Amino acid sequence: MKSAMQPSYVRDLSGSPLLAGIPPAELLLDSATARTLSVKNREEIYRQGDVNQAVFCLLKGQVTLSRVNHDGASLTTAALSAGEFFGDGLDGSVEAEDTAKAKGAALVWRAPLKEFQVLLANHPQFALGYISMLTQRQRQMQRRMEGFAFKKTEARIAEAFRELSGGFATRCEHGFGQHLRLTQQELADLVGASRPVVSTMLNRLREQGVLGYSREYVCVRRIEDIELLIDS
């Protein structure tokens, strides 16, 4: 990963309203060694088992988090979009519990743990925004668990699309805010289903013209149909 030169990195923070909301001079003072990192497609930002040393914020692109069990089986636990923070260590844990990997080219802000703690202490609005983001992520996990128990797989897939897109707040030329760079297996992990089942449902939705996809991304074409599936 290539580090951007200081102090210009503060100009790259538009992907994170929370970081961009801190006056540049104060941000440079409180996080003097923070950097923005240009990450290549499929490049690891950190690996499960690494010593926790920093907190990260995704500024541009997409990042997946995954875990490997003792048998070597991998499970995708999250797909992050611009503005989201990730990384372990603020709770005192020594080792990272997951692996963070870029999906496509990405731009990531990295701050040492101690400097991030200083930002939280010195900037109450930033701290409140960060807490709010963590609370929203917890609610998403709770909704996902509820979906595992009560919703059909097709509805869980539709809900995952909406969640990962930021609620369809913005749309691309095909109707979607961004291409989701997810493989069928990664999507299957996120919705608690097998890859063959997810593949069958994606094929059905593609035939209906609801979405398009390749091996590396999904693009929703008819958002209204996806919204109807969520409540099915």
Domains, the chain, in order of start with CATH, read 2-140 (2.60.120.10), 151-230 (1.10.10.10)
Q: What is the pLDDT of residues 134-192, one digit of tens each?
A: 998 899 888 888 888 888 888 888 888 878 766 445 555 555 545 677 888 999 999 99
Per-residue pLDDT, 5:
39
Per-residue pLDDT, 48:
95
Q: How confident is the model at residue 115 (pLDDT cuts 50, 70, 90)?
A: very high
Q: How far apart are CA 133 and CA 174, in angstroms?
A: 28
**Selection from 102-106, 127-131, 190-194 with the highest mean pLDDT:** 127-131
Global pTM reads 0.84
Angle formed by the axes of helices 195-207 and 184-191, to 10°?
Answer: 110
The answer to whether residue 11 scores a pLDDT higher than 60 is yes
Q: How confident is the model at residue 227 (pLDDT cuts 50, 70, 90)?
A: confident
Which of the residue ranges 11-15, 155-159, 180-184, 225-229 would you say has the lowest mean pLDDT? Answer: 225-229
What average pLDDT does the segment 31-44 reach? 94
What average pLDDT does the segment 20-47 reach? 94
